[in-house]
A and B are shown apart, each in its own frame.
Chain A
Amino acid sequence: MGQGKSQFTEEELQDYEDLTYFTKKEVLYAHQKFKALAPEKVGHNKNAKLPMLKILQYPELRVNPFRDRICKVFSSSNDGDCTFEDFLDMMSVFSEMAPKAVKAEHAFRIFDFDGDDMIGVSDLREVIERLCGPELKLGDSEIQQLVQNVLEEADLDDDGALSFAEFEHIIDKSSDFCHAFRIRL
């Protein structure tokens, strides 16, 4: 802890505490975790920008099927490379303290692969394929069926895609989402 403290001024910590769902101690702990990903680089510059591959070494992200999307969504340069601040943002959203609405917002962006602010059929297919993993493949007709079912459930305005409002509506009703969309620091 003492080592980590020397890297931040009190003011910075206060900023982080105000701007994330973490306390100062947790911020320092998060920094330790971040440092563990690339000790030399971060030791040199506390806010170093780590390439996406390095960030994906983080245990929970390593096995997550949406890992690259998560990095891209949180990366301030939009290319998946994350600075410590981006990492902190990420962890803050995934923390237990973050409200459902904030999580939903980010989840929407993670699932919106093509970035058109709608979760369309192609996005849904991608999500489902990633969920099943690289080894197991659902048949085309099954995916088709599932996408159909999802849209039937949630696409209230029948435009063949989920808008954010519709997505948030789903998340609001889903009690599992909050449990699942969480990474402990």
Chain B
Amino acid sequence: MSGGNSKNKARSKKQEGWEEAGGEFYQELYPGGEQELFDNLQRADAAKLATLLPSKQARNTTTVKRARSQNERRQSTFARTTQSRDIHLSMLPDLSENLSNEERTWEEIMQIKAMPVPMNQKRERKARLQNATKLRLQGFEQLQWRQRKVWHRFRIRFSEIVGKLELWQSPMREIEGKFGTGVVSYFLFLRWLLFLNIAISMLIILFMILPKTLLTEAESTCEDYSDNSTECCSNYYLTKNLSDSNVFLDVLQGTGWMERTILFYGVYSDQIYKYYVKNLFQSELYFNMPMAYILVAISWVLLSLIAIVKTAAKGFKERLVENEGQFYKYCNLVFGGWDFCIQNDKSAKIKHKALYNEIKGYLEEEKYNEEKQQRTRESQILIYFKRLLINLIVFIILIASGVLIYFAFNYSTDRLSQPEQIIETNTNFGNINVTHAEKLTLSLYKEGGMFFEQLENTLLEFLPFLCIVILNLIVPEIFSYLIPFESYTPAHVLIISLLRTVLLRLSSLAVLLSQMYTYVRDNGFVCSYVNETDENSSKLDCWETYVGQQLYKLILTDFAVQFVTTFFINLPRAFVARHTNSRCFKIIGEQDFYLPKHVLDIVYTQTIIWMGSFFCPFLPIIGTIFYFLIFYIKKFTCLTNCTPSPVVYKASKSKSLFMSVLLLGFIASITPVAYSVAEIFPSINCGPYRGYNNVWEFVIETFDGFPFLIREFIFRMGTSTFAVPAFAVLLFFLYYYWAVAAANRHMVTVLKNQLVLEGHDKQFLLNRLSAFIRQHQKRCERRNRASFADDDSIRQSSR
């Protein structure tokens, strides 16, 4: 039963061999393992000595968890070599040595799965563990163990259920089989965005839309329209008659009846709702709508930020590890190159080709780097000059597209407000109509305007957005055409073209926003009553709603274009490519799944959603629906239209890339919103913040209503007496971690050097040892011969 028992058994088996050799003497000298080792050493030839070294055998002694099962592991992996089998027998652990309790046994059973042995051996081991005598746990420990077991079961069941609920499992698998893990990581990213939007939508539905629809507003009364009080203006705005317009166009533009729905900022009330819950509470309950509005906005901003940072940090960590192991790029390529998920012949062939190209690329890059050092000064200057020129061209293109958007916006607003002024002089209906667009559609309708005129106006309304989207389609193509001239390394090409495209998209958005800002600044802040009586004006009643409408239109256009390009442009192209043999058509038709472009598409959508959510709370919900549909659109693009890309996308790298692009989009979209919250005067007619100078003022006012202690506390946090030390402490921590990281890096190099030295030492010693053994063997043989001779002589002499 005891440890000695099995050891003895093992030893006795060994001993037989030794006794035959008559080496009893050695047994005392080399007890146990060493004796066997020596035995092995003698038998082994020098080349195989290396496999006997402990370091070659003790795989993973570092991990505590696996240390227990280590012997089993060794047993399996070394079963092939007979020599090592001798060794492992003696090293086999004693299961019974330390009588384990139930919990430990259970833990060990759970670890069996990590062993690389066939199932029947695993089962045997499990049975052995189960049947072994073990201590029963008593009392509290027993309870704890039971709990652990139940928790473990529960986790398995739970993961089973979650696994079943997991969205889009089979499409992912299909994509993975055809395109590999890099592309799947894109679809995972898409799903991640979908979930983020669902979370934001939940917040908005729970705290804004539900209260708005369920709770009834108290009627505000307006005594006198002539004085410009908030009540009157908003009352006027909300009761204006909007019934008369084309429903379909309204849905597209978010105007007309749509404007007065929960879609937009305008309808949310500035009141504190009072309500009763029957039989639950005696007193009245309150729901502060303005507070909810700002809190929801703040919380979704924080939520998105945390989600991004958390996911990005994970990727960043991986990246860091990888960067340190920059030296491992060849190993990575060789051992991690093949995607084991691939299951389709064609993509396997492409993968082979991609790997081949990558290997060649790496080898060539090495040559390129060598050449680069030898590159002449002139050619270097030429390349820099080329790069400068192309950057200039890119810059010009960016500015040109900005100007184009600027003019498109101005043109459309001018054209839209022109007829308005003419017509408005004819119409003296006192209390109809709101924004210029409605006025326009309405008045055109009244005049018996034809449908195509309406259509023209809709087109005009959409002109800037169409312009943006088309620029987004064309300009990246130009960029990708330009970039080969700059002779960057492939990794840089990806990043640079991505950066330029992001810049294009964001700058076009920025131009649009600045245009909207000037428009709002000039036409925004008027009471609707005044607005209406002043006939000649095209002022906005509710600029927040207006901004919301614009972004709503932008997202619609964006989605429509994605839909159209996928099904009406790229699908025919793919069809042509598949059914033709002509090379020309093939070039036109064939498209590979160019990951950065598709990443940008969805990041862009998300940027618009973030930008618009404050003004159009429904946007995240629309976004959720869109993302759901976009998944299928992109899947279609991927599986039907495209062929696998000849570029290898690494899953780990692309993930952190997506996140950094998303973070950029987040910052770019939140900044203008934050500015508008903090600085711009909210319209008097609508929204939860009518009557305030800016939205932030409301927050400050609420803050003033807090109890003194809390107020004082938060106030102190803001003062320099707190901020400066806090900043200093943060800096100190930063420095500390930086120092630790530097020390670790140093340690890594030292250890690595040490490893190398040890390796050399080992080589040296092994050589020495094998030489020694050879010598020893020779000497033994000689001695044996001599002793035989002695024996003979003795025998002879005895005769």
- Interface positions of A (Cβ within 8 A of B): 15, 17-21, 23, 25-26, 59-60, 62-66, 74, 76, 83, 85-86, 88-89, 92-94, 99, 101-102, 105-107, 109, 111, 115-118, 124, 127-128, 131-133, 135-136, 138, 142, 145-146, 149-150, 153-154, 156-159, 163-165, 167-168, 170-171, 173-177, 179-184
Contact = CB atoms under 8 A, between A and B. Distances in A.
A60 B341 contact: yes
13 contacts: A23-B156, A62-B343, A131-B338, A131-B352, A133-B352, A157-B760, A157-B763, A173-B321, A176-B332, A179-B181, A180-B338, A180-B341, A183-B341
A44 to B, nearest CB: 20
Interface in B54-97: 55-56, 59-60, 63, 66, 73, 77-78, 80-81
Nearest to B125: A19
Contacts of B160: 23, 25-26
B651 interface: yes
A76 to B, nearest CB: 4
A46 B239 CA distance: 75
B541 interface: no
Contacts of A180: 181, 336-341, 651
6 smallest CB-CB distances across A and B, nearest first, come from A157-B759, A133-B352, A85-B119, A76-B118, A63-B348, A59-B343
B84 to A, nearest CB: 9
B60 A101 contact: yes
A117 B116 contact: no
Contacts of A145: 363
Contact of B756 (A19, A83, A149, A158): A158
Interface string B349-363: 100110110011011
Interface string B302-346: 000000000000000011011011011111101111111111110
Contact of A128 (B324, B348, B359): B359
Contact of B763 (A18, A154, A158, A175): A158
Contacts of A184: 173, 176, 341
Given A154-B331, A157-B758, A173-B325, A19 B173 contact: no
B340 A158 contact: no
Given A118-B50, A131-B334, 16 more contacts: A59-B343, A63-B342, A63-B345, A64-B340, A76-B119, A109-B77, A115-B80, A117-B77, A127-B334, A136-B352, A158-B756, A168-B60, A171-B335, A174-B331, A177-B332, A179-B652
Nearest to B762: A157
Contacts of A115: 80
Interface stretch (B107-115, B256-264, B396-404, B496-504): B107-115
Contact of A142 (B66, B332, B360, B758): B360
Contact of B759 (A74, A150, A156): A156
A183 B340 contact: yes
Interface residues of B, number: 81
B752 interface: yes
A28 to B, nearest CB: 11
B120 interface: yes
A145 B330 CA distance: 11
A89 B76 CA distance: 14
B762 A15 contact: no
Nearest to B81: A117
B524 interface: no
A59 B306 CA distance: 40
Given A102-B114, A153-B327, A170-B328, A159 B59 contact: no
Contacts of A136: 352-353, 356
Contacts of A64: 338, 340, 342, 348
Nearest to A64: B340
A150 B331 contact: yes
A132 B335 contact: no
The majority secondary structure among interface residues of chain B is helix
A120 B81 CA distance: 17
B746 interface: no
Given A23-B160, A136-B353, A156-B755, A177 B763 contact: no
B159 interface: yes
A183 B758 CA distance: 38
B116 A106 contact: yes
Nearest to B761: A157
B650 interface: yes
Contact of A102 (B116, B322, B352): B116
Nearest to B177: A59
Contacts of B330: 146, 149-150, 153
B337 A131 contact: yes
A65 B338 CA distance: 8
Contact of B359 (A19, A62, A132, A179): A132
A17 to B, nearest CB: 7
A132 B336 contact: no
Given A76-B119, A117-B78, A138-B356, A175 B321 contact: yes
Nearest to A163: B56
Contacts of B536: none
B321 A107 contact: no
Given A136-B352, A176-B652, A165 B55 contact: yes
Q: Which of B126, B340, B343 has the most CB of A within 10 A?
A: B340
B783 interface: no
B387 interface: no
B51 interface: yes
Contacts of B360: 138, 142
B341 A142 contact: no
Nearest to B353: A136
Contacts of A175: 318-319, 321-322, 652
A142 B109 contact: no
A159 B755 CA distance: 12
A23 B159 contact: yes
B123 interface: yes
Given A176-B651, A184-B173, A153 B331 contact: yes
Contact of A174 (B78, B332, B762): B332
B32 to A, nearest CB: 24
Given A132-B355, A146-B330, A168-B60, A182 B650 contact: no
Contacts of B328: 153-154, 170, 173-174
Contact of B334 (A20, A63, A146): A146
B359 A142 contact: yes
A159 B759 contact: yes
A89 B345 CA distance: 25
B14 interface: no
A174 B113 contact: no
B658 to A, nearest CB: 14
Contacts of A62: 343, 345
A105 B341 contact: no
A150 B109 CA distance: 38
B379 to A, nearest CB: 25
Interface string B417-447: 0000000000000000000000000000000
Contact of A158 (B113, B123, B760): B760
Contact of B112 (A19, A149, A182): A19
Contact of B126 (A19, A92, A94, A183): A19
Nearest to A88: B119
A153 B417 CA distance: 69
A157 B755 contact: yes
Interface string B145-189: 000000000001101100000000000010011000100010000
